[in-house]
């Protein structure tokens, strides 16, 4: 068994690689920067990455809502001998979404992971530059909470689905064990880092415009803005049961994540 890990330098892919390594399972980590490169935008890189692979941890491009590349990749993976696909999707994605459809129609064992927003967006991505600058802009909303999930919990569920039986044909809704507001989150990060971090409220359209200026595609910027607005309006606080049902625990607490990541904000 060789597991191809896409997005292997990213927040969940890196953790999937470490866990597979610890298990002694054969794997091939790929991204644009790995020894064997894989680029979603360059189909000529796919065959070498897939050579000999029997399973795939499929991490689609975040910035791109066009699912055409996933729809093209899945049949190539199956033709190359892949028999199991674990797709990283997202909470709120419709089952009609192109990437989920492609995986369900693959004809091989599939598992879909639909996580909430990752805690690690605060320390490895997305919100980090603003936290370090002391001011986080957000689309204006109320004070709604969200159950941010630790990327390690997603990776652990992915590894279970990649290496164990009993997960085929299942879409797991994944969340952290507690819902927190951005105010709570930034206060906790402020406490461990000694930083003062302000929230700047923006109308959703301005927020979308700011993301586009930062290089996000318009459609993706709109989705992020809508998702953050819904979250802050209190429409995205529900906990999901995927982590307890697969891992047998409630998921890592945000407070523990903050302690682990403290050095990044120091
Ligand atoms: N972040 C969240 O809160 C969240 C929540 C729910 C779902 N998701 C989903 O998770 C997936 C990952 O998103 P993320 O933002 O968390 O990113 P990530 O996995 O932390 O990082 C992106 C990964 O993709 C690789 N990558 C970037 N461009 C690539 C390309 N053209 N071809 C091949 N690989 C490429 C990057 O590696 P290189 O730069 O080395 O190529 C990196 O390993 C997305 O599909 C997103 O919708 C994210």
* Digit-coded pLDDT (tens) for 159-215: 999 999 999 999 999 999 999 999 999 999 999 999 999 999 999 999 999 999 998
Give the per-residue pLDDT at 197: 97
Distance CA 140, CA 49 (A): 43
Query: 217 pLDDT exceeds 90?
Result: no
Give the per-residue pLDDT at 64: 64
Q: Write the pLDDT tens digit of every residue in 51-104.
A: 999 999 999 988 666 689 999 999 999 999 999 999 999 999 887 889 999 999
Closest listed residue to residue 47, CA positions, set 74, 75, 77, 5: 77
Residue indicated by tokens 């990044």: 264
Distance CA 50, CA 6 (A): 10
Give the per-residue pLDDT at 67: 84
Closest listed residue to residue 265, CA positions, set 197, 198, 193: 193
Q: What is the mean pLDDT of the chain?
A: 96
Q: Is ligand 1 within 6 A of the CB of residue 11?
A: yes
Select from 31, 118, 149 the residue to mutate for testing ligand 1; criterion: most ligand atoms less than 8 Å from CB. Answer: 31
Q: What residues form DSSP beta bridges with 113?
A: 88, 172
62 CA: nearest ligand 1 atom: 44
Distance CA 211, CA 101 (A): 28
Indicate whether this model's pTM tops 0.75: yes
Q: Is ligand 1 within 6 A of the CB of residue 227?
A: no
Distance CA 141, CA 131 (A): 19
Give the per-residue pLDDT at 66: 66
**Minimum CA distance residue for ligand 1 atom 15:** 62
Segment 37-64 shows an average pLDDT of 94
**Minimum CA distance residue for ligand 1 atom 33:** 39
117 CA: nearest ligand 1 atom: 3
Give the per-residue pLDDT at 65: 60
149 CA: nearest ligand 1 atom: 3
- Whether the CA torsion 106, 149, 90, 179 is positive or negative: it is positive
Query: 265 pLDDT exceeds 70?
Result: yes
Q: Is ligand 1 within 6 A of the CB of residue 123?
A: no
Q: Write the pLDDT tens digit of every residue in 237-256.
A: 999 999 999 999 999 999 99
Select from 8, 33, 35, 61 the residue to mutate for testing ligand 1; criterion: most ligand atoms less than 8 Å from CB. Answer: 61
Ligand 1 centroid to residue 52 C-alpha, Å: 23
Query: 41 pLDDT exceeds 90?
Result: yes
Give the per-residue pLDDT at 86: 98
Q: How many other CB atoms sit within 10 Å of the CB of residue 242?
A: 21
The CATH label, of 3.40.50.2300, 3.40.630.10, 3.30.70.890, 3.40.50.720, for the domain at 2-259 is 3.40.50.720
Quickly list H helices, the chain: 13-23, 46-50, 68-79, 98-104, 128-133, 151-163, 182-193, 204-213, 218-232, 242-247, 254-265
Distance CA 10, CA 34 (A): 12
Query: 112 pLDDT exceeds 90?
Result: yes
Distance CA 16, CA 7 (A): 10
Give the per-residue pLDDT at 125: 87
Query: 36 pLDDT exceeds 70?
Result: yes
Q: Is ligand 1 within 6 A of the CB of residue 59?
A: yes
Distance CA 149, CA 189 (A): 16
What is the percent of the chain with per-residue pLDDT over 90, rounded to a whole number?
91
Q: Is ligand 1 within 6 A of the CB of residue 41?
A: yes
Give the per-residue pLDDT at 93: 87
**Minimum CA distance residue for ligand 1 atom 22:** 10
Sheet with strand 170-174: strands edge to edge: 26-29, 2-5, 55-58, 84-88, 109-115, 170-174
Closest listed residue to residue 113, CA positions, set 177, 71, 173: 173
Give the per-residue pLDDT at 63: 67
Closest listed residue to residue 87, CA positions, set 170, 15, 164: 170
Ligand 1 centroid to residue 38 C-alpha, Å: 13
Contact predicate 8/56, CB 8 Å = no
Contact predicate 241/173, CB 8 Å = yes
Query: 134 pLDDT exceeds 80?
Result: yes
Contact predicate 240/147, CB 8 Å = yes
Q: What is the CA radius of gyration of the chain?
A: 18
């Amino acid at each position: 068994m060789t597991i191809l890990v896409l997005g292997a330098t990213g927040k969940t892919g890196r953790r999937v690689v470490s866990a597979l390594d610890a298990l002694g399972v054969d794997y091939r980590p790929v991204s644009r920067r790995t020894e064997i490169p894989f680029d979603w935008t360059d189909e000529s890189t796919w065959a070498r990455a897939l050579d000999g692979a029997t399973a795939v941890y499929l991490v689609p491009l975040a910035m791109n809502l066009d699912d055409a590349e996933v729809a093209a990749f899945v049949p190539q993976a199956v033709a190359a001998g892949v028999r199991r696909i674990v797709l990283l999707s997202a909470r709120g994605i419709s089952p009609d979404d192109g990437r989920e459809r492609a995986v369900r129609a693959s004809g091989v064992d599939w598992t879909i992971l639909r996580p909430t927003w990752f805690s690690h967006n605060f320390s490895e991505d997305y919100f980090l530059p603003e936290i370090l600058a002391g001011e986080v802009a957000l689309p204006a909303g109320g004070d709604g909470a969200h159950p941010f999930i630790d990327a390690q919990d997603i990776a652990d569920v992915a590894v279970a689905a990649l290496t164990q039986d009993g997960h085929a044909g299942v879409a797991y809704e994944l969340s952290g064990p507690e819902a927190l507001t951005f105010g709570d989150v930034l206060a906790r990060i402020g406490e461990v880092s000694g930083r003062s971090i302000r929230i700047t409220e923006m109308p959703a359209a301005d927020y979308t415009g700011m993301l586009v200026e930062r290089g996000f595609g318009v459609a993706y910027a709109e989705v992020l803005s809508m998702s953050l607005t819904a979250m802050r309006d209190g429409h995205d606080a529900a906990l999901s049961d995927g982590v307890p049902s697969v891992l047998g625990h409630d998921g890592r607490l945000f407070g523990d994540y903050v302690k682990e990541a403290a050095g990044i904000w120091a």
